């Protein structure tokens, strides 16, 4: 059986987006070129950042339009990441809030892709 193992975000400037995600994820990419960067996360997920200017075939989207969701252990972890990332000047799309599925916040990367941090609420 084949299963997805990588998410690729099309970005305007791979190096700028790479620096953003290196700060966010607190790790460096395992592969880096001027047009593509690759992060391998602790859970095995690969996150690729590919320049929309060099991707073949060219993507139909101009940026944004996707969401990277990051699960954390509890509400305190959500709040801690929100405070830490907010201090770096990220664009906040949604401050921490309780929604029907859990406690969450959302920021935007330089290309408008959404990054959601959440914890599920038992109930």
pLDDT of residue 15: 95
pLDDT for 14 beyond 70: yes
C-alpha to C-alpha distance for 67 and 105, rounded to whole angstroms: 12
Single pTM value for the model = 0.86
pLDDT for 61 beyond 80: no
* Domains in the chain: ranges and CATH: 1-59 (3.30.720.120), 64-123 (3.10.180.10)
- Omega within 30 of 0 (cis) for the link into 8: no
């Amino acid at each position: 059986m084949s299963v997805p193992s990588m998410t690729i975000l099309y970005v305007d400037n791979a190096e700028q987006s790479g620096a953003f995600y290196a700060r966010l994820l607190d790790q460096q990419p395992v592969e880096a070129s001027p047009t593509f960067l690759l992060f391998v996360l602790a859970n095995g997920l690969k996150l690729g950042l590919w320049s929309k200017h060099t991707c073949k075939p060219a993507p139909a989207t101009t940026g944004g339009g996707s969401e990277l969701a990051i699960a954390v252990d509890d509400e305190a972890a959500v709040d801690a990441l929100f405070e830490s990332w907010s201090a770096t000047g990220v664009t906040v799309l949604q401050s921490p809030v309780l929604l029907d599925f859990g406690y969450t916040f959302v920021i935007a990367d330089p290309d408008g892709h959404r990054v959601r941090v959440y914890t599920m609420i038992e109930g």
